[in-house]
Structure 1
Amino acid sequence: MEKIEAMFDEIDAGIQSLQTARTTLGLYRQSLLKSAFEGRLTADWRAQNADKLEAPETLLAGIQKERDTRYKAALDEWQDALAQWRADGHKGQKPAKPKRPRDISTKASDIGISGWTIMPLGLLIDEPAYGTSKKSDYDGGSKGVLRIPNIAAGVVDATDLKSASFDEVELAQYQLFEGDVLTIRSNGSLSLVGKPALVRSVDTDFLYAGYLIRLRPIPGSLLSKNLIYLMMEPNVRGQIESKAKSTSGVHNINAKELQELQVPVCSEAEQAEIVRILDARLEAADALEAEIDAALTRARALRQSILKKAFSGQLVPQDPTDEPAAALLERIKAEKAERDQAAKHDRKYTPPRKPEARRPTLTDLIEVLKKQKSWISAAKAAQELGIGDGSTSDDVEAFYRQLKDFVEDGAIEVERRGDEDWLRLAKAEVS
């Protein structure tokens, strides 16, 4: 037994160390993301690539120009679609006019890092779009629909996929492109609200459900993978949780609130370097975490293995003179049968109940006091009535309760002498 306990102590210490390492890895990830968007991870890169840095004003002007260009292109496409719809005799649904981008403040904040600025996320993405409210189910239709369970660790996981059927207009409305980012807008768990996932080429055949919002970075302004890391960064996460937090139990963030997030931005070239560094370091952290989890699984399995060996005699050397296991079992069985028989006999014997003693009456006490013809202590009167050293505390207590009743009836007088009551017959009784 001592050997088992010693081995278990070693296993517990190992498990504690592994769990501490796992916690430390989580803190490392947060620290790494924070350093990345404070410019510390790419400080050397900036020193060597000064020609690729952009002043905040230049960066902002380029972003605004790209926004205007994209909106104009969307209007041109709409005009062409509208003309075709009219030429076809108004068949099908009328093409919807694209929404003008939300008016967002173009003010940028200099954060003291060359080539970096802070600006609203809404300047860096197209108008956010909500997913379909159509109910989906397993084998519910021809088109897969991504839901909250499909938003994994920074990527789309289509393992648990439901589907529904859609018309051409809906297919166009909820279409996904490579580089889009899906984020959770509503959930009972605050930590899941704002959780992002990158849409890869293998995911573009799916549509997306109403509890998700599609973010589409503007090319030349924000790299999609950089947006994924930004939304995981502690300061941005703090903004998301502050906007989404609710006392109702369901936390929500809407398109406008996402656009208002203040995010650090640098040139596209530096964003690419940030993504490269984070990809490499976070991948190494993930691999280490997988090793820790595997070690924890082995440690827990080792406990079962030790117990199995201990009870099969493989843990310690065996003494050939020891009693054989079969004989030991027979002896244990015999001893148990003996104990069961004795217990059965004990249950059959029930000791006779002691008859309950008759409690004294007023008449009994009056007879005692008549014989005394004078004062007598309550204790001595109790003895005369058979309430003495052999009586239970309940008998004594009952006597004194009765005595109180006798006094109140006026049949007996009582006088306090020191710590003791003295009794005598009332004058009426004497006469």
Structure 2
Amino acid sequence: MTNTEDLVADEWTPVTPKVADHWAIANFDEFFETVASTGKKVPAKNYLKSGTWPVIDQGADFIGGFTDDETTLIRSPKPVLVFGDHTRCMKFVKGAFAPGADGTKLLLTKDGIEPRYAYHLYFAIRLPNRGYSRHFGFLKRCKFPVPPMNEQRRIVERIEAMFDEIDHGVENLKKARASLGLYRQSLLKSAFEGRLTADWRARNADKLESPETLLARIRSERDARYKAALDDWQNALSDWREHGEKGKRPAKPRRQAEAFMDKEWLEKLPELPGSTSWVACNQLSGQISDGTHKTPTYTDTGIHFISAKDIRDFKVDFSSTRFVDKTQHVEMSKRCNVEMGNVLLTKSGAIGRVAVVDTATSFSLFESVANIPVLPPMQSRFVAYAVYHIANSYFISHAEKGVAVRHLHLEDIRKMPLPLYGVEEQAEITRILDDRLSAADALEAEIDAGLNRADVLRQSILKQAFSGKLVPQDPNDEPAADLLARIKAEKITRAKVTRKTKAIA
């Protein structure tokens, strides 16, 4: 089977569409003509944020930028179709505009072909996807169904009326999804400011634990782990000496340096109920670290290598990870050892995603992910929710470094303020959040399914439209074969005029 990214246009055979008997089939040159844009294309580096004329390029946004240079303008009495040679996008443009420099192909429809008919038809055609390689050659090999001119207009009217109804439904679904996002933010805010468990606290006053008591328990756990690490080091050092001090001397474990929340945060954060207080993330965890800063040598199989893209929905997604061998994994684990119950936070790239490590599967981390070893008796899922809320609602805008590439530094994460509730209240907050966020996730899945159905319905409408089944036929319409014959005759006439002009010259 041919990989579409390796396919070239000459090797691709387009499907000839099945059409109604009174329709015709046109080649590219019978359907389109290209518009010369030499000397008019505007490089992306010259785009203005605002200006007199829009720059239309092959990007996802309809307008890529602006220009004040009138010499770059394309002025056409007919609408122009702008095709993205690299992106396969298609834009319908009326009025004067400047073309973008990279990969834009400008097309006009032949007389007798409705521009909006051609525009909608393009989205029923499935060109091969060659990534960022060029695609115009594939478009030029396509076969285009041509109905009578009046039927083209009826098809366009029907498609756009039906699409307007779908667009209205899609807009409502997107509003609902946006509302879910606001609901999640509001829910987390209520949880960590104490409003979600206010009734629980009133009923369970005897179960409330002071921050000082809880911090003492966490310090005790940290000290115990450090003592165990020292004991392991002493044993490793003894073995090293017994074997003639061969190899590298075992490194003595370092005691974790405490990092405290910056005082300026107290002016930004809301007041918490009762004796609950804000503390630095570092006070609730072991040593916070990130993954390797060197790109490893990848292998086809082996140990999963996790980067920011693999953190989603509070889980580690192993479905599309890269791999490293065991030797590299062991070396990387000396810097950052990931264990069950740790919380992961993406610190660059897709910043602010969080996951709880709930698997015994071994994996290594790239530097885009921070590892937060949650210390008992803190509950990992509570910490994960709190880190996500603070990181996305407060901390990122306060602590991000740079503009083009957002990046959280480890020191920022260590000082990140988190609300310190008692262990039993942590469990209650986590229970409520799990229930309500799961319900929100289920509703969002239904919304996404609705959006997918809208896309399928659009394709179904296009399929009917361009096979002659969407609108009724009119026997009084000029036959498409006559229309296509006229287009071919005009092409021959133009070619003769061109040759005559060159001969005279």
Q: Mark yes or no: TM-score above 0.5.
A: yes
Distance across 2 between alignment mates of 1:297 and 1:85: 62
Show the counterpart of 2:353.
195
Which segment is superposed worse, 232-241 or 114-123? 232-241
Aligned-residue CA RMSD (Å): 3.4
Alignment of 1:90 onto 2:220: no
d(CA) in 2 for partners of 1:238, 1:213:
18
Structure whose CA Rg is larger: 1
CA distance in 2 between counterparts of 1:147 and 1:347 reads: 59
- Structure 1 residues 309 and 240, CA, compared in 2 at 3 Å: closer, same or farther? closer
Is 1:162 aligned with 2:328?
no
Aligned twin of 2:368 = 211
1:113 counterpart residue number: 273
> Residues 137-162 of structure 1, C-alpha deviation per residue, up to 9 Å, x if partnerless?
44177433222322223211122222
Are the counterparts in 2 of residues 140 and 164 from structure 1 also a CA contact under 8 Å? Answer: no
Q: Per-residue displacement from partner, 1:315-340 (whole Å, max 9, x unpaired)?
A: 45677xx36x9x92344345556766
Flag the structure with more relative contact order, 1 or 2, with Cα contacts below 8 A and sequence separation at least 6. Answer: 2
Gaps of 5+ in 2: 1-153
Could you tell me how far apart the structure 2 residues matched to 1:211 and 1:348 are? 62
Structure 1 stretch displaced more, 118-127 or 96-105: 96-105
**How many Å separate the matches in 2 of 1:73 and 1:343?**
89
* Distance in 1 separating the partners of 2:367 and 2:261: 30
Establish whether residue 53 from structure 1 lines up as the match of residue 53 from structure 2: no
- Could you tell me which amino acid in structure 2 is paired with residue 246 of structure 1? G
1:332 and 2:487 matched:
no
Compute the displacement of 1:229 (Å).
1.0
Number of the residue aligned with 2:394: 238
Q: Partners of 1:240 and 1:337 in 2: how far apart?
A: 62
- Asked if 1:260 corresponds to 2:431, the answer is no
Are residue 276 (structure 1) and residue 431 (structure 2) matched?
yes
* Alignment correspondent of 2:460: 305
1:131 corresponds to: 291
Answer with 340-349 or 211-220: which moved more: 340-349
Distance (whole Å) between structure 2 residues aligned to residue 287 and residue 334 of structure 1: 56
Q: Which residue of 1 aligns with 2:9?
A: none
Q: Deviation per CA, 1:271-329, whole angstroms, max 9, x where unpaired?
A: 1222222122222222222221221122123223223334445445677xx36x9x923
How far apart in 2 are the matches of 1:306 and 1:140? 43
State the match for 2:379 in structure 1: 223
Q: Distance in 2 between matches of 1:77 and 1:225?
A: 30
1:74 correspondence with 2:225: no
**How many residues are matched?**
339
Residue 346 to residue 310, structure 1, CA distance change in 2 (3 Å) = same
Query: CA 1:66–1:106 in 2, change beyond 3 Å: closer, same or farther?
Result: farther
SS class of match (1:252): coil
> SS of 2:345's equivalent?
strand
Name the SS for the 1:28 alignment partner: helix
By how many angstroms is 1:86 displaced?
2.3
Distance 1:278 1:89, change over 3 A: same
Q: SS at 1:40's partner residue?
A: coil
Partner of 2:342: 180
1:5-57: CA deviations, max 9, x gaps? 43222111111111111111111111111111111222222233222211233
Q: Which AA in structure 1 matches 2:442?
A: A
SS of the counterpart of 2:442?
Answer: helix
Q: Return the alpha-carbon distance in structure 2 between the equivalents of residues 6 and 341 of structure 1.
A: 37
Unaligned runs of 5+ in 1: 351-431
Task: Name the aligned partner's letter for residue 95 of structure 1.
Answer: P
CA contact (8 A) 1:150 1:161 kept: no
Name the aligned partner's letter for residue 127 of structure 1: Q
* Partner SS for 1:101: coil
Counterparts in 2 of 1:228 and 1:342: CA distance versus 1, 3 Å: same
